[in-house]
Chain A
Amino acid sequence: MSSDILLALVVAAALTFDFTNGFHDTANVVATSISTRALPPRLAILIAAVLNFIGAFLSLKVAATIASGIVDSGQVTLQVVFAGLIGAIFWNMLTWWFGLPSSSSHALIGGVVGAMLAAHGFGAINGEGLLGKVVIPALVAPVLAFGVAGVAILFIYRIVGRLRPGPATRGFRLGQIASGSLLALAHGTNDAQKTMGIITLALVAHGSLSPVDPQVPFWVVVSAASAIALGTYSGGWRIIRTMGSKIIKMDAAQGFAAQGSGAAVILAATHVGFPLSTTHVISGGVVGAGAAKRVSAVKWGVAGNMAIAWVLTIPAAGLTGGLAYGISALAGGGTQGPAAVCVVIAVAVGALLRSRRVRTPPPIAEEPAV
């Protein structure tokens, strides 16, 4: 019975993370298309949501390990996974609140690393894996995308610069729709699989699935696909605004350079076996496409805030993951631990909502007519 409750908590946390992953990363796919009016906002996120859903069914090569090569997989328990998910959800929600695009995958890795540190100490962390799989890609992705999108937009202006702007703009808007659709499909394929992997791992630990070559149950695929699609359809409008219009005011050609070349870089990196964060690539591409036209066109303050959020992702998600694991361990581990973490979160959210209600001034009553 108690293991059933633990399984339910981990599955619920995994699907919640999947949902936040969807609405946090909607901006990567739709922000430039909405900004250049290639698509109306609602239609853009509807297409992104549907393609995320379809993408989740394209491939089922689920890795049953989380943060593989970064933490000692043999010591990952369900309590660690749960605490890691809490850290990732917290960071996704916080960066969404401030409208800052940041990597959901890095948040999950950070959460799990923090929980592992709290559970087993530094011995369970592979520093080289963290450097090679997280830190170096995080440094390379935005710089590479910045350079590629910058050079791409210079070529684009050179090739189509003397054409009538109307038809050329329509052409690049179509290109944005195609590249955005590919990104949405790739996002559904990659990110929904993380959730499927976590739930599959939980089912194996629970004894519901055989540890030898476990097959992902169909309900897991459908629920992960639905959570990421619903999250995408909810639309993280704060991040969409930041990426679409707060960094640069972009034209259709810039939007295509950022998104089209970004999609090509992401898929080329995946092909090489060195996956880069979609968020880092597209954000770097947006800044690069703006800076190549005119350096002063970029709002560097916003870009700087994004960079700070990226630097803080692993430590902040890790700290929350570690804290969640600490609370869980204090409550006695097992099933009580994650249940206690849920109670703490419910109390914190309730207090936050209450404080916001108190701070909101009451509406001014109209003077009665004399």
Chain B
Amino acid sequence: MSPVSVLAAESSDLSVWEQLLEVIVVGSIAGIGLSIAFSLLVRGIIQAGNARRGDGGSALLPNVALAAVSGLICVAAVLFAVYEMVDG
């Protein structure tokens, strides 16, 4: 193998490992983040329902806000996913 092709091989290896690291970081944030956001959405909706019925001692407004914010994050994730499919 000539020095040039050795360098090329090393640089392509580096790019694979860099991509790999990026996938691990981005995939972990996206996977765990989406699960947390959706759980907070479920929690917010259930707690807000409890508050409206007056049981459980939970406050309505913070739970509605929690559900709204986490719901927006989930909707944004879905829209991004569809964009990725169409554009990717």
Chain A interface (Cβ within 8 Å of chain B)?
55, 58-59, 61, 128, 131-132, 136, 140, 144-145, 147-149, 151-153, 155-156, 159-160, 163-164, 167-168, 171-172, 175, 178, 182, 185-186, 189, 256-257, 260-265, 267-274, 276
Contact = CB atoms under 8 A, between A and B. Distances in A.
Determine the main DSSP class of B at the interface with A. helix
Interface of B: 9, 12-13, 16, 19-20, 22-24, 26-36, 38-43, 45-47, 49, 77-78, 80-82, 84-88
B46 A163 contact: yes
A156 B37 CA distance: 9
Contact of A156 (B20, B39, B86): B39
B66 to A, nearest CB: 10
21 contacts: A59-B87, A128-B12, A132-B13, A132-B16, A136-B16, A151-B28, A153-B35, A155-B32, A156-B36, A167-B45, A175-B38, A186-B85, A263-B34, A264-B30, A265-B31, A267-B30, A268-B23, A268-B30, A271-B26, A272-B19, A276-B23
Nearest to B47: A163
A269 to B, nearest CB: 5
Which 10 pairs of residues, A with B, have the shortest CB-CB distance?
Answer: A261-B31, A152-B35, A171-B42, A148-B31, A268-B30, A264-B30, A159-B39, A265-B27, A132-B16, A264-B31
B80 to A, nearest CB: 8
A33 to B, nearest CB: 15
B42 A265 contact: no
